[in-house]
Structure 1
Amino acid sequence: MADQSDRQSPQRTAASPASPSTQSGEVTKVGGVTYRTADTEYFEKRQLKRSAGIFGLWGLAVGAVVSGNFSGWNFGVDFAGFGGMLIAYAILIVMYYGLIFSINEMAAAMPHTGGAYSFARAAMGPYAGFVTGLAETIEYVATTAVIVYFSSGYADAVVSQLLGVDLPKPVWWLILYTIFVALNSSGAAVSFRFAILVSIISIVILLVFSAMALFSGAFSWDSLFNIVPDAGGSAFLPHGFLPILFALPFAMWFFLGIEELPLAAEEAHNPVRDIPKAALWARFTLVVTGLLVLVLNTGVLGAETTAGASEPLLDGFRAIVGDGLAAVLALFALVGLLASLQGIMFAYGRNMYSLSRAGYYPKFLSLTGRTQTPWVALIAGAVIGFCALVGVDLAGGEGGIAGAVVLNIAAWGAVVAYLMQMVSFLVLRKRFPNAKRPYKSPWGNSGAIIAAVISALIFLGFLLNPDYLPAIIAIIVIYAVMLITFWLWGRHRLILSPEEEYALSGGLDVVNLDDLVDDGERDDQPGESEVAPARD
């Protein structure tokens, strides 16, 4: 339900809220929360730099997702067989089309770094914005930790084969986090160029594998259906229809992360135009690569072997060329994992930055510094992720309960964020009919409803599967602590950031972010600041 108090005139203890000319320190009370107007210096310390066009955004989206082609997806075959996994994959193609079309419409209307938090805040009030933003924080921080975990194994295998040196896992985690925090902190332009490079390399690796699978004779159609069916099952659906529901979270690994593009809105040259286009091309790229991997990787290894493989693509390469090139093959797989490590780390940095800039998280997390990147948020997310990995290791590693918790928390956070965003889309269309919408979803309300229903089904799958219970308990604890903290402390310390101004204006006030800082403080090239129409 939308926050009814947002529809009323804000109660002000000073003059009107939220414009570049407003005096700092003025207070606005609305919807049970209290806002303070920040001065120019506050936003100058929290600047981002526009560095990305369509190609850079495409690289960011593909890079964030592509590691899902290398590992993670295959456990769905264990639940539902190849046929069930194929059905789950098809269902998620539909879900992600509806999801991305809807997100593109909201991102073009609200070209701010807030992304999902911003959409839910405008639609349903500050508490919904906080719940949605926290879900994305959980998703991206947990996903980064999972990628670091798997990357450390591949990296150690490469170094061990080539140099005969083995390092403890925590050392690898520290090395990977340090390198990629430094990379993401060195400037947005560096991040986008790296994303393009590793995305292209990863796609080439997947295409090479596909060609080798087809022309080497290693692929077999019969191998797709070699799981012995249960009583009443079939070769196509060896365990029946219900396990398709349990396979959906694993099929998400082919697409999870593509929804991060709105978080790059303040670093794109023209987010209103470029984010929808980049999302379209990234979505098409990932549908093709995902289908190739699902069919060919399973056909090379066989469904039964694929279902239990910890590194299915690498095992597929080994099945074709043997173990003699193990180090080189592991290096190939590592490239895909590192592509996603960079992309997802970018996402959690911007997500935490936007929530901090608006006051939901501690405000120091949104400081940017000389390179105009949220380096404090990047370090904070890395520390949280590293601590989670230490917990995984102490609980018995990848196969322990803690390992399952981290993996499932990432998917759970994504599903909650998806569901909240689709509800936000429907509410915004009804609540803000006169808001400017430079891009409109071709699937309209129907696309959002379809995506919401499928997201709800995935959520139901989590509840019905006892393997996910530890993750659900962990999420409940995290939300309880964070919501109590926000209610007692955070809700009276919010800042009128661009995302909050949009919500309070009824969708009619799209803030030109360059108005919030002195012209001399910006490094953008002429014309790059024209993100949205000027104020009415």
Structure 2
Amino acid sequence: MPLARRLKTGDAVAIGLGSMIGAGVFSVWGPAIGVAGSGVLIALAIAAVVAYCNATASAQLAAAHPVAGGTYAYARAEIGPWWGFIAGWSFVVGKIASCAAMAMTFAAYAAPAGWQPAVAVGAVAALAAVNCFGVTRTALLTRILVACSLLGLAVVVAFGLAGAPVAAPSTLPAATAYGVLQGAGLLFFAFAGYARIATMGEEVVDPARTIPRAITLALAGAVVVYALVGITVLAVLGESATTSTAPLADVVSAVGWAPLEPLVRVSAASASLGALLALLTGIGRTTLAMARERDVPAFFSKIDERWHVPRRAEIAIALLVISIVLVADLRGAIGFSSFGVLTYYLIANAAAFRQEGGTRRYPRALQVIGALGCLLLVNTLPVVASLVGTIVIVIGVMYRLVRIRVQRLRL
């Protein structure tokens, strides 16, 4: 049974913005400024360029292959089943970790000490339930959460820039080339959300037109928001941003508007929920596509007849996210997620590079830049994150080899 095509351009843009304008914009500035120093805006530009190249690759592929599954489906069609499997496996395991990171960030803003694990688990369970009752409900809730997030960010930018001390940026650490690249790698994590639109290619109206437009609009909106917020944090906090765990809340306090801090915290929690909701949706669709090809158990290919969603996959993903929330920390989840995401987009660029003729919408140079950017940024990640990510991909490859071997023996 195919998924129902119900999402229009506005719905898809909202889901893309909900995926990008999440926990990252509220928390990434401290670590990014700590490594990039005065070059943090250059790092933001690098991350944006790589994200744009990846977005155009995803858009070009999605227009030619308007089905659920994202790069898993695209790479299977363009460069072969093995590359598709690695892309899909990287996406699922990386984004499961990202879901855990978003849930933990939500709890850090919304819950008192001691209650954060329980609140994070509750958030995952609640949003998984929303996903199980139809994609139009997902789009509506995402719109509401994005609006709350943008309201909080507007307050930070408006009051922050109005009261910013002019001399604060001069206190920033000096930039180095490696530090700027590290900062770009961290900031890229905050951008990684536009692929949620492409993974829902089987549920949008007129996908050949809607998906490219929605990806471009969502990414452009996120770049503008991030640039404004980054400039505000630099102008107000300067070097003190490197030690802040909640830099945007600290911005409003530093300029004498401490009563607005609860509003910023509510917006941060809303942003985290919006990203978590969209991530859970995208992972469920990729898992569905992989189950249809038997790259994960076929049990997960079942679509609910009433609500037209892959309910079994949604529930399984939620349980895995909850288990990570209960045993992992935020930094480890983010590092592991970044490894999976960059691997996924590396393969997306390779698949888009292979497209010919009428399916080509963008010059190949963009895919080359995107692939090289992914390789460069993945090498700035912590060694442990890269090692664990490699091990998990190898485990996935071994699983598929065994599954193919068993299938051949049965013939």
Residue identity matched to 1:346: T
Q: Is 1:48–1:267's contact at 8 Å kept on the other side of the alignment? A: yes
Distance 1:450 1:180 in 2: 36
Aligned partner of 2:379 in structure 1 is 460
Aligned partner of 1:335 in structure 2 is 270
Q: Is 2:248–2:264's contact at 8 Å kept on the other side of the alignment? A: no
**2:205 is aligned with 1:291:** no
Distance 1:209 1:199 in 2: 15
Q: Is 1:69–1:253's contact at 8 Å kept on the other side of the alignment? A: no
Aligned partner of 1:451 in structure 2 is 370
Aligned partner of 1:320 in structure 2 is 255
The equivalences for 1:169-180 within 5 A come to 169-180=116-127
Residue identity matched to 1:284: A
The equivalences for 1:361-400 within 5 A come to 361-369=296-304, 370-392=306-328, 398=329
The equivalences for 1:6-405 within 5 A come to 44=1, 47-67=2-22, 68-81=24-37, 83-157=38-112, 168-215=115-162, 217=163, 219-227=164-172, 229=173, 238-302=174-238, 304-369=239-304, 370-392=306-328, 398=329, 403-405=330-332
Distance 1:151 1:121 in 2: 35
Deviation at 1:411, TM superposition (A): 0.8
Per-residue CA deviations over 1:444-474 (Å, capped at 9, x if unaligned) read 1011111111111112223xxxxx1221222
Deviation at 1:323, TM superposition (A): 4.1
Q: Is 1:359–1:493's contact at 8 Å kept on the other side of the alignment? A: no
Q: Is 1:314–1:333's contact at 8 Å kept on the other side of the alignment? A: no
Distance 1:414 1:446 in 2: 21
Q: Specify whether residues 274 and 484 from structure 1 end up closer, same or farther in structure 2 by C-alpha distance, changes over 3 A only.
A: same
- TM, length-normalised to structure 2: 0.93
Helix, strand or coil: the match of 2:354?
helix
Q: Is 1:50–1:268's contact at 8 Å kept on the other side of the alignment? A: yes
Deviation at 1:266, TM superposition (A): 0.8
Residue identity matched to 1:344: L
Q: Specify whether residues 209 and 478 from structure 1 end up closer, same or farther in structure 2 by C-alpha distance, changes over 3 A only.
A: same
Deviation at 1:171, TM superposition (A): 1.6
User: What is the alpha-carbon root mean square deviation over aligned residues?
Assistant: 1.9
Helix, strand or coil: the match of 2:352?
helix
Deviation at 1:285, TM superposition (A): 0.6
Gaps of 5+ in 2: none
Aligned partner of 1:413 in structure 2 is 340
Distance 1:491 1:101 in 2: 37
Q: Is 1:345–1:378's contact at 8 Å kept on the other side of the alignment? A: yes
Q: Is 1:356–1:362's contact at 8 Å kept on the other side of the alignment? A: yes
Per-residue CA deviations over 1:192-233 (Å, capped at 9, x if unaligned) read 111122222222221222111122x2x134212313x4xxxx
Q: Is 2:51–2:188's contact at 8 Å kept on the other side of the alignment? A: no
> Please, which of 391, 396, 402 is the counterpart of residue 482 of structure 1?
396
Aligned partner of 1:17 in structure 2 is none
Residue identity matched to 2:247: P
Deviation at 1:490, TM superposition (A): 4.7
Aligned partner of 1:469 in structure 2 is 383
Aligned partner of 2:361 in structure 1 is 441
Helix, strand or coil: the match of 1:180?
helix
Deviation at 1:268, TM superposition (A): 0.5
Q: Is 1:357–1:366's contact at 8 Å kept on the other side of the alignment? A: yes
Distance 1:108 1:471 in 2: 33
Distance 1:413 1:221 in 2: 40
Deviation at 1:167, TM superposition (A): 5.6
Distance 1:493 1:249 in 2: 40
Deviation at 1:275, TM superposition (A): 0.7
Residue identity matched to 1:361: V
Distance 1:119 1:136 in 2: 13
Structure ranking higher on relative contact order (CA contacts 8 Å, 6+ apart): 2
Q: Is 2:153–2:267's contact at 8 Å kept on the other side of the alignment? A: no
Helix, strand or coil: the match of 2:78?
helix
Per-residue CA deviations over 1:295-315 (Å, capped at 9, x if unaligned) read 10222122x221222221122
Deviation at 1:282, TM superposition (A): 0.8
Give identity over the alignment, percent.
23
Distance 1:491 1:180 in 2: 38
Q: Specify whether residues 384 and 49 from structure 1 end up closer, same or farther in structure 2 by C-alpha distance, changes over 3 A only.
A: same
Aligned length: 406
Per-residue CA deviations over 1:372-398 (Å, capped at 9, x if unaligned) read 112211221122122222222xxxxx4
Which one has the bigger helix percentage?
2
Aligned partner of 1:525 in structure 2 is none
Helix, strand or coil: the match of 1:489?
helix
Distance 2:132 2:261 in 1: 33
Deviation at 1:73, TM superposition (A): 4.0
Distance 1:321 1:108 in 2: 49
Distance 2:157 2:262 in 1: 20
